[in-house]
Amino acid sequence: MSNDVLPAVALLAPLPKSSTRWLWALLVLGTICYISVFVFYPNLFWLVGVNHYGVWFLDTYALLASNDAVTRGLNAYAANPLDYFGRPHVYSHWWLHLRDLGLTRADNLWVGLALAGSFLLVTLSRLRPATPRQLLFYFAVLCSSPVLLAVNRANNDLVVFLLLTPLVSCLLDRRLGMRLVAPFFIAAAAALKYYPAAAALVLLAAVPARELRWRVALMGGLFLLVGMGAKSDLAGFGALAPQPEGFLTFGSTAFSHSLGWDGWVPKLFCAAAGAAVFGWFWHARWFANWIVPDERRADWLHFVLGAALLVGCFFTSLNFAYRWVFAVWLAPLLWSLPGDLSAPLPVRRLAAVTRALLLAVLWVDAAASFALNRFIGIVPGPELQRWADHGFLLEQPLFWAFFFCVLAFLAHFTRLGLRTLLAK
C-alpha cells in the first residue's frame, strides 16, 4: 500500500469507542448550551424565526387552562378566558382528564420542563454520532427552529413523540407478546391527536405472514375503538383548529392557501400528486429487492415511523412546524445510508439528496426570518410582509422535493410489507 493511500484509509476507519463517547457528550453539551442561550436571552428567538411571546410552555398552558375551565364549569371548546390567548380546546376529550391528576395552570412550569426534558433525554439517547461530521448533522437537526419551537411551547406533539418512542423496540423484540403491544402505542397516540394513525404503516415491518395479519387486524380493531371514542371530538375539530400560515408551517396546500385558493380541489390535486409519485416509485427499479441489514433495522424502522407521520401530516393538512420533531427519527438512517455499499447506488444517492433536503426544510424558515429581521425599521411593514409572503412561496418546492424523496422509501417499505401480508 502506498503512503498516499494511508491518509484516506485513516479517515475512513471507525473512531474508537472512547472518541464516540466524547462526540455524544459534545452533542449533549452543545444542545444544552444552545437551548440555554434562549433561556437567558429570549429575545434571540426572533433571530431564528420563533415567536416566544414572553412566555415559556404556552401549549401545555393551553391544555391545563382547558382543564381548569372544565373544573369551573366553563365550556372548554369555546373561547377560554383562562388561557393567555383565549384559545379553545382543539384536541380530543382525553386531554381534559389531566385535571383528574390534580394538574392546574399552576403546574405549567414543571409540566412543561418535564415534557421538554423528557423529549431531549429520549432524543439524545437515540442520536449517537460516530464522526465529527455526523455530530454536526445531528446538532443541525436537533437544534433547528422547528424543534426549538416545540421545546419552547412544550407542544403536545412531544407527548405523541414519547408515546411512540417504544414502538420500534417492541417490533424488534424477540417475544411475540411484546411485538403485539406495538399497536396499542399507536392507538393511544391516535386517541390524543388523530394524525398518529399514520404510524400504523410501520406495522408492516417484516415478520411471518400470519403474525403480520394478526398485527394488522389488532390495529384495525383498536382504530375502530378510537374512532368511536373520538367521534364527537372530530365533529367540531375543523371549526376550532387554528389555521397555520406563513413561516414555520408546512403542508401540501400551503402554496394554494397563501394565494387564497382553499377547499377540496387543491387538497385533491395535492393528494393526487402524492399518490402519483408514490405509484411511480412503487414500480421503479431503484430499490430492486434491497433489504436493510439487520444492524440497521432499528434505524430503518425509525425512519419509516417518522416519515409516515410527516408524510401523513403534509398531504392531509397545514401544520405548525413543531411536527418536525419526528425528523429526529429520520436522521440516523439518512446519515448512514449514503455510505452503505450494500445498498443500490440509486438508493444511496436518494438518501444523500433527502439528507440535504431535510436540512434545507428545517432551516430555511430560520434563514428567511433572520434575513427579514435585518430590515425591520428600514423597510415599511407592509412591504416587508410582502417580501415574507413571496419568500414563503419560494420555499415550497423544497418541501415538495423532500416529501417526494421520502415517498420513495415509503413505497419500497409498503411494497415489501404488503407482499408478505398477502402471501398465501
DSSP 254-290: HHHHHTT--SHHHHHHHHHHHHHHHHHHHH-SSSTT-
- At 108-132, the pLDDT tens digits run 999 999 999 999 999 999 999 999 9
pTM of the model: 0.92
- At 24-54, the pLDDT tens digits run 999 999 999 999 999 999 999 988 999 999 9
Query: Are 58 and 66 spatial neighbours (Cβ–Cβ below 8 Å)?
Result: no
Of 84-93, 268-277, 349-358, 391-400, the least confident: 84-93
Query: How many C-beta neighbours within 10 Å does residue 125 have?
Result: 11
C-alpha dihedral sign at 310, 217, 268, 258: negative
Burial class from Cβ neighbours inside 10 Å (0-12, 13-18, 19+) for residue 278 reads middle
Between β-strands 319-320 and 249-250, what pairing exists: parallel, antiparallel or unpaired?
antiparallel
DSSP letter at 89?
A: P
Q: How confident is the model at residue 188 (pLDDT cuts 50, 70, 90)?
A: very high
Q: What is the rounded average pLDDT of the residues 282-310? A: 92
pLDDT for position 217 = 95
Helix, coil or strand: residue 96 = helix
pLDDT mean across residues, the chain: 91
Helix, coil or strand: residue 249 = strand
- At 214-250, the pLDDT tens digits run 999 999 999 999 988 777 776 555 556 678 888 999 9
pLDDT at 374 over 90: no
pLDDT for position 251 = 95
In degrees rounded to 5, what are phi and psi of residue 393? -65, -40
